């Protein structure tokens, strides 16, 4: 669907959209692999592994480091290690992308309701939003374990639309990956993708989205033009 007039709320992805979290994710992965006496993955590998939650990230790290044959047997232990290490590392090196705070301020000034929707578990999401000064901007935060399913399933997006009492066509998702695009399409929501995110190493321009923007202020300006 084209990016339409009448958008009343905006949902924003976290990793790769609001925050560059790869340095912390990579630090935790390095500690996990070292604890298992396995070779490290590069930060660029980790960047391409981000997008479907921490269990998937751990599985991809294990496959890259230990091979597919050993990865499955190590998954449970590795996931437990990773979660402990990431809880310690989260926020140490992560940074807010340029323009994010300005963009959130613009969206709020347009009287748009704001929600954060992420596949990251709440135990990581909520402290990170607080630490980086982003929590006050969001009326609603839906994490990867808030509901039974997460992106690319549309359940999280449908939940936010219901909480806001808005039709999906009035709720824009801004994300950076195929998971965001698929979830939005399945939920019936318009979707814009940022050009600077992760998208599992693929080109964001290949995604089925309604707009590609270089920053949140650009997205806000696009919505402003649509509403005028």
Establish if 176 belongs to a structural domain.
yes
pLDDT per residue as tens digits for the range 156-188: 999 999 999 999 999 999 999 999 999 999 999
Judge if 123 and 136 occupy the same domain: yes
Residues 29 and 121 in one domain: no
Q: When comparing pLDDT for 51 and 76, which is higher? A: 76
Host domain of residue 220: 9-20+95-227
Tell me: do 132 and 80 sit in the same domain.
no
Q: Given 36, 59, 89, which residue is the final one in a domain?
A: 89
Assess whether 209 and 162 both reside in one domain. Answer: yes
Which CATH number fits the domain that encloses residue 157? 3.40.50.1000
Q: What is the pLDDT of residue 1?
A: 47
Asked whether residue 3 is assigned to any structural domain, the reply reads no
Close Cβ partners of 219 (under 8 Å, ≥ 6 residues apart): 103, 107, 174, 192, 194, 211, 213
What is the average per-residue pLDDT within 81-108?
Answer: 97
Residue 2 is assigned to a structural domain of this protein: no
Q: Are residues 15 and 27 in the same domain?
A: no
SS3 21: coil
**Tokens 């936010």, residue?**
160
pLDDT band, very low/low/confident/very high, at 67 (cuts 50, 70, 90): very high
Q: Is the pLDDT of residue 4 over 90?
A: no
Pairing of strands 95-96, 19-20: antiparallel
Neighbours of 124 (CB within 10 A): 24
* Better-predicted residue by pLDDT, 2 or 174: 174
Count of domains observed in the chain: 2
Catalytic residue among 13, 15, 180, 210: 13
Asked if residue 73 belongs to a domain, the reply is: yes
Q: Where does a domain end: 48, 74, 89? A: 89
Cα-Cα-Cα-Cα dihedral sign, residues 212, 213, 219, 224 = negative
pLDDT at 83: 95
Question: Average model confidence (pLDDT) for the chain?
Answer: 94
For the cut 70, the answer to whether the pLDDT of residue 3 exceeds it is no
Residue 25 has pLDDT above 60, yes or no: yes
Question: What average pLDDT does the segment 22-30 reach?
Answer: 96
Residue 2 has pLDDT above 80, yes or no: no
Residues 67 and 135 in one domain: no
pLDDT digits (tens, 9 = 90+) for 185-226: 999 999 999 999 998 888 999 999 999 999 999 999 999 887
So what's the pLDDT on residue 228? 59
Same domain, 107 and 219: yes
Are both 29 and 16 inside the same structural domain? no
Q: Which residues contact 181 (CB under 8 A, 6 or more apart)?
A: 175, 191, 193, 207, 208, 209
Over residues 107-133, the pLDDT tens digits come to 999 999 999 999 999 999 999 999 999
Please tell me whether residues 107 and 123 are part of one structural domain: yes
Any idea what the CATH number is for the domain that residue 78 is in?
1.10.150
Give mean pLDDT, residues 95-112.
97
Q: Among 89, 109, 125, give the residue marking a domain's end.
A: 89
Are 30 and 111 within one domain? no
- Residue 134 pLDDT greater than 60, yes or no: yes
Whether residue 4 is contained in a domain is answered as no
Buried b (16+ CB within 10 A) or exposed e, 47-61: bbbbbbbbbebbbbb
Has 13 been annotated as catalytic? yes
Claim to verify: residue 49 and residue 100 sit in the same structural domain: no
Give the C-alpha separation, 215 to 134, whole Å. 16
């Amino acid at each position: 669907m084209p990016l339409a007039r009448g958008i009343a709320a905006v949902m924003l992805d976290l990793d790769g959209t609001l925050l560059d979290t790869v340095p912390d994710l990579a630090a935790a992965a390095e500690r996990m692999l070292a604890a298992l006496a396995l070779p490290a993955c590069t930060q660029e590998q980790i960047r391409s592994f981000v997008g479907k939650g921490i269990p998937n990230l751990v599985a991809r790290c294990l496959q890259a480091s230990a091979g597919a044959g050993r990865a499955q047997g190590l998954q449970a232990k590795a996931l437990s290690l990773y979660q402990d290490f990431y809880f310690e590392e989260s926020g140490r090196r992560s940074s807010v992308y340029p323009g994010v705070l300005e963009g959130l301020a613009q969206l709020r000034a347009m009287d748009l309701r704001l929600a954060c929707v992420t596949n990251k578990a709440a135990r990581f999401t909520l402290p990170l939003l607080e630490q980086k000064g982003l929590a006050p901007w969001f009326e609603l935060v839906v994490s990867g374990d808030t509901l039974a399913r997460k992106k690319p399933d549309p359940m999280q997006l449908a939940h936010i639309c219901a909480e806001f009492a808005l039709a999906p066509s009035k709720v824009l998702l801004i994300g950076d990956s195929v998971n965001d695009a698929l979830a939005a399409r399945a939920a019936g929501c318009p979707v814009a993708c940022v050009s600077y995110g992760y998208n599992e190493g693929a080109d964001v321009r290949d995604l089925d989205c309604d707009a590609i923007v270089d920053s949140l202020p650009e997205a806000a300006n696009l919505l402003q033009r649509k509403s005028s």
